[in-house]
Amino acid sequence: DDASRDEVARGDAERAASLDAAFRRVFAAEPAGVWAAPGRVNLIGEHTDYNDGFVMPFALPQSTYVAARRREDGQVRVHSLFAEETVEFAVETLRPGAVDGWAGYVAGMIWSLSTAADVGLPLQGPGGGAPVLGGVDLLIDSTVPHGAGLSSSAALECSVGLAVAELHGVSAEPLTLARLAQRAENDFVGMPCGLMDQMISMLGEPARAVLFDTRSLTPRPVSVGDPAEVEVLVVDTRAPHRLVDGEYAARRRQCEQAAAQLGVASLRALSDRDEPAEELLAGLDDELLRRRARHVLTENRRVLETVDLLAAGDVAAAGERVTASHRSLREDYEVTVPETDVAVEALLDAGVHGARITGGGFGGCVVALAPAGMLDRARSAVRDRYAAAGFGEPEVFAASPSAGARRVA
Ligand code: GAF
């Protein structure tokens, strides 16, 4: 744990120094500070967050970094080192959809902060009243792989949110910033995501995953196990994302339809009950809706079982829940692709405790709960299987829980 903490601190210091220098180059001025927010990997609890259910992600060491300086003229200038592009807009003129591409997440977050009172999440400025967001210069860089399903967008929203809030003397609860970031994504960018990614980017902590109840909005830090014994591995399949947003929105609608037909506010209401899923879902005539809802119900149960099993030190049984989650996502929820399925098989054959697709799906990453020290074996197992299947080369790395959003300079 100490080693990974040191590594993050070293990474933060290096990034802060290079961002500071780049800021001076691009804006010919000194930044007031540098902020960071991480990407995430979700251990278990997939497609449950927009059903009021349970999730268990942790924050990655990979983060998005923002050097920033306050302005007083209502303008925002944002330069991205990864996109090699500068985008400018006025805070006043921001409306949903007004800015697109990578800068849409930045503009969306600033819009969400500046209109927070409209959705009952009022922010307090230094004088106690609503803050006036007078503009900012922002320089952005990121070590979170893009489009890999590791929440590079939440990392961008949360790092910008923290920087802009602090620069304007706004002290907002991390959970409030997470909800405003989710709103940026839902209402400005137009992606109907749940709260998991923004929540863990704000509230992640070193050496702990976070069990999050998305109904009560209560986070509970949990240990994944002794790092000398248990390791979390991530395979970035680099499979091209297909139809991501449309399919995600469709899954969400199907869950809402299922809940409406069953007469409950959300599918979570059913997963709190003891009867078998089949019985609880008997009122659904539509076979597709029944499978979608069955995934959500069984997944919520798997999350809570995994937490208990990890606490009891039974990593092997926790791993079985992780693998069962993948099966459910493949068969009932239908969000996996051949690349994720092959990676899961290869990892299981190589001896991990459990493996599953992680994130929204349709490509992206696979996460595995593994005995410590098997990274190299896992990497060659997946690479061999990918070569045989004619897939592109995957990236395989070990990930340890790291800090959430923070000021780094
Ligand atoms: C994406 C979304 F952004 C999350 O809110 C969550 O629904 C996840 O897919 C699936 O669990 O990452």
Say which residue the tokens 């937490």 belong to. 307
Substitution candidate for ligand 1 out of 40, 41, 44, 47 with most atoms within 8 A of CB? 47
**pLDDT value, residue 138:** 98
Query: Is 358 within 8 Å of 367 (Cβ atoms)?
Result: yes
Q: Is 274 a catalytic residue?
A: no
Cβ neighbours around 88 below 10 Å, total: 12
Q: What ipTM was reported for this prediction?
A: 0.99
Q: Which atom of ligand 1 is nearest to the CA of 42?
A: 11
Query: Is 340 within 8 Å of 237 (Cβ atoms)?
Result: yes
Mean pLDDT for the stretch of residues 68-74: 96
Query: Is 204 within 8 Å of 40 (Cβ atoms)?
Result: yes
Listed in sequence order, the DSSP H helices in 85-195 are 102-114, 152-167, 174-183
Of the candidates 339, 345, 346, 336, the one whose C-alpha atom is nearest the C-alpha of residue 391 is 339
104 lines ligand 1 (CB under 6 A): no
The CA-atom distances, in angstroms, between 285 and each of 257, 273, 291, 309, 398 are: 12, 20, 11, 35, 43
**pLDDT value, residue 147:** 86
**pLDDT value, residue 212:** 98
Q: Is 386 annotated among the ligand-binding residues? A: no
Q: Is 150 annotated among the ligand-binding residues? A: yes
Of the candidates 5, 33, 16, the one whose C-alpha atom is nearest the C-alpha of residue 162 is 33
For 142-155, the pLDDT digits (tens) are 999 988 999 999 99
Q: Which atom of ligand 1 is nearest to the CA of 50?
A: 7
Q: What is the DSSP string of 317-373?
A: HHHHHHHHHHHHHHHTS----HHHHHHHHHHHHHT-SEEEEESS-SSSEEEEEEETT
For 244-262, the pLDDT digits (tens) are 569 999 999 999 999 999 9
Q: Is the pLDDT of residue 241 over 80?
A: no
For 367-376, the pLDDT digits (tens) are 999 999 999 9
Instruction: Tell me how far the alpha carbon of residue 273 lies from the centroid of ligand 1, in angstroms.
Output: 24
Strands (E), 8-84: 33-42, 54-55, 57-70, 75-80
Q: Is the pLDDT of residue 85 over 70?
A: yes
pLDDT band of 378, cuts 50, 70, 90: very high
50 lines ligand 1 (CB under 6 A): yes
Q: Is 147 annotated among the ligand-binding residues? A: yes
Q: Is the pLDDT of residue 311 over 60?
A: yes
Looking at every residue in the chain, the average pLDDT score rounds to 95
Instruction: Tell me how far the alpha carbon of residue 196 lies from the centroid of ligand 1, in angstroms.
Output: 6
SS3 207: coil
Q: Is the pLDDT of residue 388 over 80?
A: yes
pLDDT band of 128, cuts 50, 70, 90: confident
53 lines ligand 1 (CB under 6 A): no
49 lines ligand 1 (CB under 6 A): yes
Rg for the chain, CA atoms, rounded: 21
Whole-model pTM above 0.95?
A: yes
Q: Is 149 annotated among the ligand-binding residues? A: yes
For 335-350, the pLDDT digits (tens) are 999 999 999 999 999 9
Q: Which residues, listed in sequence order, are joined to residue 222 by a DSSP beta bridge?
A: 209
Mean pLDDT for the stretch of residues 178-201: 97
Instruction: Tell me how far the alpha carbon of residue 135 lies from the centroid of ligand 1, in angstroms.
Output: 30
317-331 burial, b for 16+ CB within 10 Å, e for fewer?
Answer: bbbbbbbbbbebbbe
Instruction: Tell me how far the alpha carbon of residue 50 lies from the centroid of ligand 1, in angstroms.
Output: 8
Question: CB-based contacts of 327: which residues, under 8 Å, 6+ apart?
Answer: none
